[in-house]
Amino acid sequence: MPFLLQSMAWPLVLLLAWFLGERLHEAWQMPRVSSYVAVGLVASLFNLPGLTDAVPGLPFLANVALSLILFELGYRIHLRWFRHNPWMLVLGLGESAVTFVVVYAVSGWFALPTDTRLIIAALSVSASPAGILRVANEMRSAGQVTERVMHLCAINCLVAVFALKLITGYWYLANSGDLTLAVFGSVHVLATSVAVGVLLGVAVPALLRAQRIEERDVTLVFALAVVLLTTMAYGLKLSPLLAALSFGIVARERRVHLTNAQRGFGTAGDLLTLFLFVYIAALLDWSELHTGVWLGLALIVARTASKVLCNVAAARLSGSTERKGLLTGLALTPMSAFAILLLEQSRQHGFEPAHQVLATLAFMMLLQELLGPLVTQRALKAAAETHLTKA
């Protein structure tokens, strides 16, 4: 009976999250993902984190959900755009570096250990592809600001994963003195994750062309490939997030197209996204939310300011305007979904500081995940790039 009740908890919570998401979106245009997070946070008061431990396979399912989103994000990246407008690449890398330095400096005001400050800085570089992409799809957003946000989000995520893996290697080296373990925990994971993603990015389009699969079945094949990729990453202790992003980028370059009707992987993608946002919210412990209020507020201000100022400063050089640069920087506000799963993966692979960092950043993650999608939605609306129609 206890297992039956635990098994029923998740479907009931997901159903409630879906219902509230639809009602709040219809009544107040609230981003659905913010509603999902709110339900997950409330459910965590009733010991939902304990239930996540009792039901096997939930972390894997969450990684599949985020990997599908990262594949879609990678699939929307135009590498040729960087060749025609190299300032976009410079902006993405420069903004990532500035964010890392600024957040690292601000975190020093709170007497945190160096390892913790480095991890926080690396995570703050990232933007949440789950929050940004789902809001953009929900609003049917398209235009210069939307495309810039997508490309900068991808760069931010790549830099964040690379930085965190290098910090992981440094931690292994500092604590064990084992250079082999340090290299395996950083360089090997980075290189192999990208290699696996690139391999599938070449192989799957070749398979699709050879079999002449109908256009409506292309999305199904890509979804199965992402599940395979996530399974491989779990078995080999790689980064499924980095591999999925690489897979999407390379698949786009191989000229195999997803159908517009299946953007977001259809109903299955919607269900997995619903689960993902409830799950990551349930990972936050209410008892830890009060411990880092001032730290969280300071880091949010520092992170947002660095992204906004960099985008405004480089707007003209990269072919935009200062106003669009401001809106682009604001639209990059969400970060929690990607950062939380990245920390969870690191913890599962033996990176001990990851659990403490999640506790330290609990309040920041809460605000970023609840309000970040709303900021993205308002920024895209202000850019006049949304195309909503009444049902």
Q: What is the pLDDT of residues 156-200, one digit of tens each?
A: 999 999 998 888 888 877 776 666 666 666 777 888 899 999 999
Mean pLDDT, the chain, integer: 85
**Mean pLDDT of the 45-62 span:** 71
Q: Cβ atoms within 10 A of the Cβ of 261, count?
A: 10
Q: Going by C-beta distance under 8 Å and a sequence separation of 6 or more, which residues neighbour residue 199?
A: none
**Mean pLDDT of the 26-48 span:** 85
Nearest Cα neighbor of 103 from 89, 92, 93, 116 is: 116
Per-residue model confidence (pLDDT) at position 5: 59
Q: What is the pLDDT of residues 203-255, one digit of tens each?
A: 888 887 777 766 667 788 888 999 999 998 888 888 898 999 999 999 888 76
Compare 310 and 388 and report the one with higher pLDDT: 310
Q: What pTM, to 2 d.p., does this model score?
A: 0.91
Per-residue model confidence (pLDDT) at position 181: 62
Give the dihedral sign, CA 61/126/105/330.
Answer: negative
Backbone angles phi, psi at 371, to 5 degrees: -100, -20
Domains within the chain, CATH numbers bracketed: 2-382 (1.20.1530.20)
Residues of the chain with pLDDT > 70: what percent? Answer: 89
Per-residue model confidence (pLDDT) at position 3: 58
C-alpha span between 152 and 158 (Å, rounded): 10
Q: What is the pLDDT of residues 313-332, one digit of tens each?
A: 999 998 999 999 999 999 99
pLDDT band at 284 (very low <50, low <70, confident <90, very high): confident
Per-residue model confidence (pLDDT) at position 180: 65
**Mean pLDDT of the 295-303 span:** 94
pLDDT band at 380 (very low <50, low <70, confident <90, very high): very high
Q: Going by C-beta distance under 8 Å and a sequence separation of 6 or more, which residues neighbour residue 356?
A: 116
**Mean pLDDT of the 101-115 span:** 93
Compare 2 and 221 and report the one with higher pLDDT: 221
3-state helix, strand, coil in the chain (%, to 5): 80, 0, 20
- pLDDT reading at 140 higher than 60: yes
